[in-house]
Structure 1
Amino acid sequence: MEPAAASAEAFAVRRYPVAPGCRLNVRSGPGTNYRLVKVLPYDARVPINCQKPGETVTGTYGTSNLWDNIANGQYVSDAYVNTGSDGYIAPRCS
């Protein structure tokens, strides 16, 4: 394998599907009281950089207090992201 290909592969980011039929709100922090940053389109897939506890939300995939950081200053409730787990699947946000 070429070194460039190896390094590109090492930085491949896994993206997780948002619940079908949902236009998910993206917040500036881990709760619905945080500022609305944007709304994701239907069938969006999101990277999860890190996760942190916050407001408990009930969504398509159950009830969770985990919030997924999808970009700098952008969080979505894990209850609407199909990660295949009820717990942490990424490092905790600092």
Structure 2
Amino acid sequence: MAMAPTAEALTYYSVAPGQRVNVRSGPGTNYTVVRVLPVGAKVTISCQSPGTTVTGPYGTTNVWDNIGNGEYVSDAYVNTGSDGYIRPRCS
């Protein structure tokens, strides 16, 4: 009996404590804010892109995390445990 394929488990990353983080339409501060993550939010990251350099609670980086269709947040506000890329580059 064949096993059904399992979906890759989603990993959730915490947004910096006490921060309401802008979600932008692209990987940079020049993109429009599409929504704001509430304090205590957790996000999944599908891919990452280089963009505007931002300084936040987790350092200074130009890495932007894609958390949904057309939704990006600066990796400086997401606790990924790394200063670099942890997911594939967005195409």
- TM-score w.r.t. structure 1 length? 0.90
Equivalenced residue count is: 90
Identical residues among aligned pairs (%) = 70
Structure 1 residues not aligned, in runs of 5+: none
- TM-score w.r.t. structure 2 length? 0.93
Query: What's the offset of the Cα at 1:12?
Result: 2.0
Query: What's the offset of the Cα at 1:58?
Result: 0.2
**Alpha-carbon distance between aligned partners in 2 of 1:3 and 1:21, rounded to the nearest angstrom:** 43
1:4-83 map, 5 Å: 7=6, 10-83=7-80
Structure 2 residues not aligned, in runs of 5+: none
**Alpha-carbon distance between aligned partners in 2 of 1:11 and 1:37, rounded to the nearest angstrom:** 27
Larger helix proportion, structure 1 or 2? 1
**Alpha-carbon distance between aligned partners in 2 of 1:3 and 1:77, rounded to the nearest angstrom:** 39
* Structure 2 residue identity aligned to 1:78: D
Could you list the runs of 4 or more consecutive aligned residues of structure 1 that deviate by over 2 angstroms after TM superposition? none
**Alpha-carbon distance between aligned partners in 2 of 1:21 and 1:3, rounded to the nearest angstrom:** 43
**Alpha-carbon distance between aligned partners in 2 of 1:57 and 1:42, rounded to the nearest angstrom:** 19
